[in-house]
Amino acid sequence: MVRWTIGRKLAASFLVLTILMAFMGFLGITSLAFLNSSSNEILERQQPILTTISEIKTDLLTSRLKISQYLRTGNMAHLIAVRNEMRDVNNSILFVEGEADEETLEILNEIKNSFISYKNLIDSLLSFYEKNPDETEIIDMKKSNLNSLMENALLIKLDSLYDTKNENIRELGELNKEVYENSFMMTTFLSLILVVIGLLISFLVSRNITIPLKEMAELIPRMVRGEFKKIRIKSRDEIGDLAFGFNKMADDLKKSRKELEKYSEGLEKEVTERTKELEKSKKELEEKVDELERFSKLTVGRELKMVEMKKKIRELEKQSKTKST
């Protein structure tokens, strides 16, 4: 079984944080790549359509100019230019139709119908001009109808289609912005989670170190008072080794204290017995001293009596001698 030392715990914590940071970076890069591809897709799909719509308007205006020049000069080059412009407009409408969505398809169908009417009016005008070039009033009337159809149908509907596609681009831009904001919020949220996880890991590692040390600091004064309590060993790291050594020291001190108390009790008992013996000897000695004092008093009294008797004997001897003389 792997022994989780403090070094390994710190290394594992840093590894987890590194993985989370890498994941957050990957998520951010992925979001940016998605936004970039989304923006490119918007431009790639919509910009050619807008350009084509502008080209249709330009071709229609050019065709009107070429019709006027043809009717004024009768130059066939202008008529060929009109045919070419009509062909280009038709191809452009087909291109936009192929890229159109449901929202713009209705407007595009109206443009196609108006363009068919526009081409019919051109054909009618040109056919009438070829047969009746001097009928200027009727030619001008047909030309006015042609211009009216262009202004009131084709150009207005083309502007509407252009505005619709431009609005689509704006909406897609808003969507792109929303995706960016969501990505930013998610990245911020994950960053906060990463910070919380980092703080939690730091707290757990710190708690794993400080709690046993705090318990040791609290138990040392109690050990001085003779309370030997063990620390709960919850880890197998260096702090666990320290706690194990502390518990062993507490056991050794407890054992030594018991042995010391036992020795103290034996010594106290021995002192008590010796004290009793000394008191007994003292008592016996005091009795002998008293006896000696009594004996001494008797001896001194006898000696005094002997001295007095000797003194009386001498006095009697003196008196007897005096009487004999």
**Identity of the highest mean pLDDT range in 14-23, 45-54, 84-93, 249-258:** 84-93
| Letter string b/e over residues 301-312, b meaning 16 or more CB atoms within 10 A of that residue's CB | eeeeeeeeeeee
Average per-residue pLDDT in the chain?
78
Q: Which two tokens stand for residue 290?
A: 């008293």
- Does residue 64 surpass a pLDDT of 70? yes
User: CA-CA distance, 271 to 289, in Å (whole number)?
Assistant: 26
pLDDT digits (tens, 9 = 90+) for 94-104: 888 887 777 77
The number of residues making up the chain comes to 325
Residues in Cβ contact with 223 at an 8 Å cutoff, skipping those fewer than 6 apart: 250, 253
- If phi > 0 it is left, if psi is from -120 to 50 it is alpha, else beta; for residue 229 that is beta
| Angle at the Cα of 140 from the Cα atoms of 139 and 144, rounded to 5 degrees | 120
Residue type, 19: I
Q: Which two tokens stand for residue 282?
A: 């003292």
Residue-range domains of the chain with CATH = 6-204 (1.20.120.1730)
Q: Mean pLDDT throughout 200-215?
A: 74
Q: Contact, 239 vs 212, CB < 8 A? A: yes
Q: Contact, 232 vs 214, CB < 8 A? A: no
The C-alpha torsion from 265 through 267 and 268 to 271, rounded to 10°, is 160
Q: Mean pLDDT throughout 51-68?
A: 90
